[in-house]
A = this chain, B = another copy of it.
């Protein structure tokens, strides 16, 4: 019943990420066309090219009068106001010497005109005559194609679109774009101790808290959770659950069943996989976090322990989900300053959950709540994770530590 666990070869966080990078190619995301207006935070699958010059007409940079520069060689000069061009209007003929038209910011500069004089520097002599007395230094006209030429790349392949990109697509009336499909995820939480919502609490049993957390972490990180199941510790049930998902999912995340002494069914599956990525890490919590490729599906076996599950998700699953979409992690890695001595020492690098704040031009980090990995008290409040390096000495206040600022927190 209690299988001996194979000797496992522990690797570092960076080594584990390197192995993910080297093997992520096994998981291929297809692409799909979607409406640009709904593409926020999707990843562009092919370069988006300008279908036309932009601006498409010579545009006035200011509110004022359009006219010919040759009329301004001797100042002051009065010109006949032959019309006005409000926003959105065309003008039906070229302007000629001696004429001016009233024009709005962004308005169409008529042919013939080659300067816009700002309203503030003009004076109306009567309702049809404007006087210019100041020397002009700029023409205040944005030429056709000044911002973008037809054929320019507007948004590169592998760009994550944001509202700024949507404004650009809209300016060119590009209504649909090609994006990578969202990674499809199956989540299988294992554990005979897990109750379903609404069940009676009894000795030995707990409600499943990691499953709902993983589900929401996947969603907020741009993945599509297409299946979510909760099963007892039973190798056959797990096999069935996995087989049901293999064809449908790019990534399968299991939770529980990875600890020494557990039924260790995930370890068995990992052993039979094409490619074990890692099954032991030089860190706490989450040292037994496991990853492997099976049937072109990326598997993550997260620890059933809440703190370890949380840590494993941010350090490896988030990293992989972003990588599959050709993106870097949204966990910003930086060096931050510890706000108080940390006295525990450890044989392993310890990843603590904490909070950060900007103080002047640097980042200060501190612990939040207890760091018992079974305790749920700080998963909500943690906004960063930081690393206490292994060793026998305490970590003093003001230590500069490797830190990950967590996204969407």
A252 to chain B, nearest CB (A): 19
- Interchain CB contact under 8 A, B162 and A408: yes
Task: Verify if A310 is at the interface (C-beta below 8 Å from B).
Answer: yes
Which residues A331-380 have CB closer than 8 A to chain B? 332-337, 358, 360-363, 372, 374-380
How many angstroms between the C-alpha atoms of A220 and B52 in the bound complex?
A: 30
Among the listed B173, B195, B203, B232, which residue makes an inter-chain contact with A198, where contact means beta carbons less than 8 Å apart?
B173
Using CB atoms, name the residue of chain B closest to A201: B56
Most buried by B among A1, A91, A169: A169
The reply to whether B408 and A206 form a contact with Cβ atoms under 8 Å apart is no
Cβ B88 vs Cβ A191 within 8 A? yes
Q: Pick the interface stretch among A26-34, A71-79, A102-110, A294-302.
A: A102-110
Q: Does A94 sit within 8 A of B, measured CB to CB?
A: no
Chain B contacts for A142, CB-based, 8 A: 374
**Cα distance A88–B196 when bound, in Å?**
13
- Shortest A381–chain B CB gap in Å is 7
- On whether the beta carbons of B170 and A37 are closer than 8 Å, the reply is no
Taking CB atoms, residues of chain B closer than 8 Å to A304 are 106
Q: Is the CB of B215 within 8 A of A361?
A: no
Q: How many copies does the complex hold?
A: 2
Cα separation A214 to B305 with both chains bound (whole Å)? 41
A211 to B159, CA, bound (A): 21
Provide the residues of chain B in CB contact with A400, threshold 8 Å: 361
Stretch at the interface among A11-19, A258-266, A388-396: A258-266
* Given known A-B contacts A201-B56, A336-B361, A374-B61, A106 and B193 have beta carbons under 8 A apart: yes
A128→B24 CA distance, assembly (Å): 47
Q: Assess the A201–B375 pair: CB atoms within 8 A.
A: no
A57, B309: Cα distance in complex, Å: 22
Check if B166 sits within 8 Å of A213, measured CB to CB: yes
Contacts of A337 in B (CB 8 A): 361
A68 within 8 A of B: no
Q: Contact: A87 with B216, CB < 8 Å?
A: no
A246 within 8 A of B: no
The answer to the question of A49 belonging to the interface, with a C-beta cut-off of 8 Å to chain B, is no
Known: A206-B106, A380-B165, A381-B164. A89 touches B192 (CB 8 A): yes
Within 8 A of B (CB), among A193-215: 193-195, 197-199, 201-215
- Asked if A175 CB lies within 8 Å of chain B CBs, one says yes
Q: A408 to B160: give the CA distance in the assembly, Å.
A: 10
Cβ A90 vs Cβ B203 within 8 A:
yes
* A219 close to chain B: CB less than 8 A: yes
A-B contact pairs, 14 of them (CB 8 A): A37-B212, A41-B220, A89-B204, A90-B204, A91-B203, A163-B379, A170-B197, A170-B207, A170-B208, A170-B209, A170-B211, A173-B195, A173-B201, A362-B362
Given known contacts A155-B380, A173-B199, what 12 new A-B pairs fall within 8 Å (CB)?
A36-B212, A40-B220, A41-B220, A56-B203, A61-B374, A88-B191, A88-B192, A105-B262, A162-B216, A164-B310, A167-B209, A361-B400
